[in-house]
Amino acid sequence: MHDDVKSPDPPAYVDPISGRKYPISEPRWRSDTDAPLMITALPGIGRNMIDTGKRSLWRYAAALPVDVPDPITMGEGCTPLVSHKWGGVTALFKLEWLSPTGSFKDRGASVMISILRGQGVTKVLEDSSGNGGAAIAAYAAAGGLAAKILVPASTAQDKIVQMRAYGAAIELIPGTRQDASNAAERQAAIIFYAGHNWQPFFLQGTKTLAYELWEDLKFKAPDNVIIPTGAGSNVMGCDIGFGELLRRGEIASLPRLFAAQPENCAPLHASFVARSDDLTPVEVRPTIAEGASIAKPVRAHEVLAAVRRSGGATVAVSEVEIERALFELSRIGLYVEPTSAIAAAAFTKLLERGVIRPDETSVLVLTGAGLKTTRRIGELIGPLPKSADGG
Q: Of 153, 178, 200, which marks where a domain is finished? A: 200
State how many domains the chain has. 2
What's the pLDDT at 385? 83
Contacts of 383 (CB under 8 A, 6+ apart): none
238 and 346 inside one domain:
yes
Sign of CA dihedral 229, 233, 237, 240: positive
Whether 208 is covered by a domain: the verdict is: yes
What is the spatial distance between Cα 27 and Cα 198, in angstroms, rounded to a whole number? Answer: 12
Range list of H helices, the chain: 105-118, 131-143, 157-165, 177-187, 200-206, 208-216, 233-248, 267-273, 300-310, 319-330, 338-352, 374-381
236 and 344 inside one domain:
yes
Task: Print pLDDT tens along the chain (391 aa).
Answer: 444 445 468 999 999 989 999 999 999 999 999 999 999 999 999 999 999 999 999 999 999 999 999 999 999 999 999 999 999 999 999 999 999 999 999 999 999 999 999 999 999 999 987 899 999 999 999 999 999 999 988 887 888 999 999 999 999 999 887 888 889 999 999 999 999 999 999 999 999 999 999 999 999 999 999 999 999 999 999 999 999 999 999 999 999 999 999 999 999 999 999 999 989 989 999 999 988 988 899 999 999 999 999 999 999 999 999 999 999 999 999 999 999 999 999 999 999 999 999 999 999 999 999 998 888 899 999 998 876 555 5
> What angle, rounded to 10 degrees, do the helices at 105-118 and 208-216 form?
130
Identify the domain containing residue 247 by its residue range.
81-103+203-378
110 and 258 inside one domain:
no
CATH code of 251's domain? 3.40.50.1100
130 and 207 inside one domain:
no
Whether 308 is covered by a domain: the verdict is: yes
94 and 115 inside one domain:
no
338 and 353 inside one domain:
yes
Whether 384 is covered by a domain: the verdict is: no
Give the CA distances from residue 109 to residues 139, 142, 353, in Å, rounded to whole numbers and listed in that order.
6, 11, 36
Whether 245 is covered by a domain: the verdict is: yes
Whether 36 is covered by a domain: the verdict is: no
144 and 194 inside one domain:
yes
Could you tell me the end-to-end alpha-carbon distance of the chain, in angstroms, rounded to an integer? 68
277 and 330 inside one domain:
yes
What's the pLDDT at 388? 56
